[in-house]
Chains A and B, each alone.
Chain A
Amino acid sequence: MLDATVAPLVQVRDLKMHFPIHSGVLRRQTGAVKAVDGISFDIRAGETLGLVGESGCGKSTVGRALIRLYEPTAGSVTIAGDEITTMPPEALRKKRPQMQMVFQDPQASLNPRMTLAQIIGEPLVEHTTLSPDRRLERIYELMDQVGLNRRFANRYPHEFSGGQRQRIGIARALALNPKFIVCDEPIAALDVSIQAQVVNLLEDLQDRLGLTYLFISHDLSMVRHIADRVAVMYLGRIVELSPRDDLYARPLHPYAEALLSAVPEADPEQKGQRIILKGDVPSPANPPKGCAFCTRCPKVFDRCRSDRPALVEVAPGRQVACHLFQPQTVPNTSNGPGETRLQQQGV
């Protein structure tokens, strides 16, 4: 922890996002889908935190709750020193320019009835008092930044390719010079060749503008490329939060291990050892009592089914929520299950 003295830009503490389930004749609340169930993490300024996990594990919900597109059920989110979850509407509106979002589906995230200039200009209209000419200038500037031809300003979203649309989305997010951008699977809907372009653009912008990203994705190789640290989510909880290189070299949590073993290997000679998980993800409306992963974990033991493991630091900079690991013990020296893990590190 080199810059432990500097307060992180984004601080999330025990964030919960439960969606109520109503049923019966009286539509009484009979339960809740625990999409995000108590997660905590920090993002330092200028850093990219990757957030990975399978479909439906609550990644996008975290992103949306973070900038309060959803009203979180509990917990706190602090961005640049301001508590977001309890902010009154007008203050929140003033705060919005600092935190922006790039959406997953570039087709759906652009209003089909607005021209590109109107789309990119919308944040400027809302938050600045620029004259129309100055605004147009700023729009051109943003278009240059994301590599869009200025001549496109009067075109409509349907006239663009997926990659170009995502650039429009990024330009819109950049319009107000934000500090923090939530990238909600920005590359999932794109071609592989375009994915690299967009990711490189995001990295480039980060270098130039000093942006901080929360990069949500299920594409592990892309996350490896862009993220500094990676959080692995399973069923609404973070199971492991580690620096990128450590995680990819040697995942600690059994789920992270299984997830990473599924990354396709480019070299056909080098066959990785796949860890095939059995069964399905439990319903987030009715998660297991102990560890969320206990129903499918290959290394499950009794305590997993009764106690919920907390996310604790088990090695410098590495946090894992698993009973196999003790706080602040490096798994190299631990006995038993830790060693079996070591044998699989060549993945």
Chain B
Amino acid sequence: MTDTKSSALDKPESQLRAIWSQFRSHKGALFGLAVLTLLVAFVVLGPLLWQPPKLTVVEAIKSKNLGPSLKFPLGTDQIGRDMLSRMILAGKVSLAVGFVAMAIAIFFGTFIGVLAGYFKRLDGPLMRLTDMFLALPLIPLLLVMVMLFRDKVAALIGPELGAFTLIVFAIGITSWMQAARIVRGEVLALKEREYVLAARSIGTPPRRVILRHILPNIVSPIMVAATLGIAEAIITESVLSFLGLGFPPDFPTWGRLLFDGLQYMQLYPERVIWPGLAISLTVLAVNYIGDGLRDALDPRVRGR
């Protein structure tokens, strides 16, 4: 027998490589990855490359509401601030809030959804909890949360990071419900599949059944929920800031720029277009990446 030889030959090839090669074949995903990389580079490297011209107060008052020019590539806002540098600063916060809040929401949602779907005893209580969260009026809830905790958190880790943590957390724990419902439904269906039964007949304990058999098979709905969640988190953050509950008023985020620009939309539509475009591009890019990742993770698609 060529035992040793064949086993050396047949060692499982790297899963990551197979996933990457499938991901690469998905044009949309590559495009999304490129756009997202550009956006991240824009907000991370932007401050190093673009210094807004220093203006005196008089100059600033004179340069209100300017259109695009060499001095101000994206024009200025209603009090003479350079839009490009504001976009860069805003992007950093918005992207961070979007991704972190989405991650928290998806983690909570998946966790609760899996528990509710897999363990029948937990289903009732956990889903009623989900319903309760869905029924809660979100804005007053967030208002109370921010009011109660803002100063304490700010005292602990500084006002900016404090606001960030609080907002991200607040958005995260108020938007996991959709994900939980989707995941629960999927788990309920998967639980009855024979391969889960087979795993149980082998004696695989529940947590490994979930990790090995259930989670990998519900990636696609989770992925869809996650990509939509990013956009939602960015918008929710701007709503919070608009109500004075989020970041301080002079602290730009994409959502905030959008709201600020709204009043001037008829005169200066570009004020709305730039942040809107940035949010849309982020969502679109993440969506395509999610799509490509979903395909790449599915061996049935990967084989083709």
Q: Given A117-B12, A158-B299, answer yes or no on A108-B204 (Cβ-Cβ < 8 Å).
A: no
Whether B207 is near chain A, meaning CB under 8 Å from some CB there, is: no
Whether B197 is near chain A, meaning CB under 8 Å from some CB there, is: yes
B203 proximity list for chain A (CB < 8 A): 92-94, 96-97, 123, 126-127
**Contacting pair B195 A96 (CB below 8 A):** no
Q: Given A93-B205, A137-B7, A151-B10, answer yes or no on A101-B303 (Cβ-Cβ < 8 Å).
A: no
A104 proximity list for chain B (CB < 8 A): 194
**Contacting pair B300 A158 (CB below 8 A):** yes
Whether A154 is near chain B, meaning CB under 8 Å from some CB there, is: yes
Q: Can you list 29 residue pairs at the A/B interface with Cβ under 8 Å? A: A64-B197, A92-B203, A93-B205, A96-B201, A99-B201, A103-B197, A103-B198, A105-B194, A108-B194, A109-B194, A110-B195, A111-B199, A111-B212, A111-B213, A111-B216, A111-B217, A112-B299, A113-B217, A122-B202, A122-B204, A123-B203, A136-B11, A140-B6, A150-B10, A151-B6, A151-B10, A154-B13, A158-B299, A176-B202
Known: A67-B201, A100-B202, A136-B11. 14 other contacts (CB 8 A): A93-B205, A96-B202, A97-B203, A100-B201, A101-B198, A105-B194, A110-B195, A114-B212, A122-B202, A140-B6, A140-B7, A151-B6, A158-B299, A172-B198
B 1-28 to A, binary, CB cutoff 8 A, 1 in contact else 0: 0010011001111000000000000000
A97 to B202, CA, bound (A): 7
A78 to B74, CA, bound (A): 79
**Contacting pair A113 B201 (CB below 8 A):** no
Interface residues of A (CB under 8 A from B): 64, 67, 69, 92-94, 96-97, 99-101, 103-105, 108-115, 117, 122-123, 126-127, 133, 136-137, 140, 150-151, 153-154, 156, 158-159, 169, 172, 176
Counting from the closest, the 8 A-B pairs by CB-CB distance are: A96-B203, A109-B194, A156-B299, A93-B203, A108-B194, A111-B195, A113-B216, A123-B202
Interface residues of B (CB under 8 A from A): 3, 6-7, 10-13, 193-195, 197-205, 208, 212-213, 216-217, 297-300, 303
Total residue contacts A-B, CB cutoff 8 A: 93
A99 to B216, CA, bound (A): 27
**Contacting pair A126 B10 (CB below 8 A):** no
Q: Considering only CB atoms, which chain A residue lies closest to B216 in the complex?
A: A113
Q: Considering only CB atoms, which chain B residue lies closest to A152 in the complex?
A: B10
**Contacting pair A108 B201 (CB below 8 A):** no
Please classify the interface of chain B as helix (H, G, I), strand (E, B), loop, or mixed, using the class held by over half of its residues: helix
A115 to B195, CA, bound (A): 13
A126 proximity list for chain B (CB < 8 A): 202-204, 208
Q: How far is the CB of B128 from chain A (nearest CB, A)?
A: 14
**Contacting pair A101 B201 (CB below 8 A):** yes
Q: Given A93-B203, A101-B198, A109-B198, answer yes or no on A156-B10 (Cβ-Cβ < 8 Å).
A: no
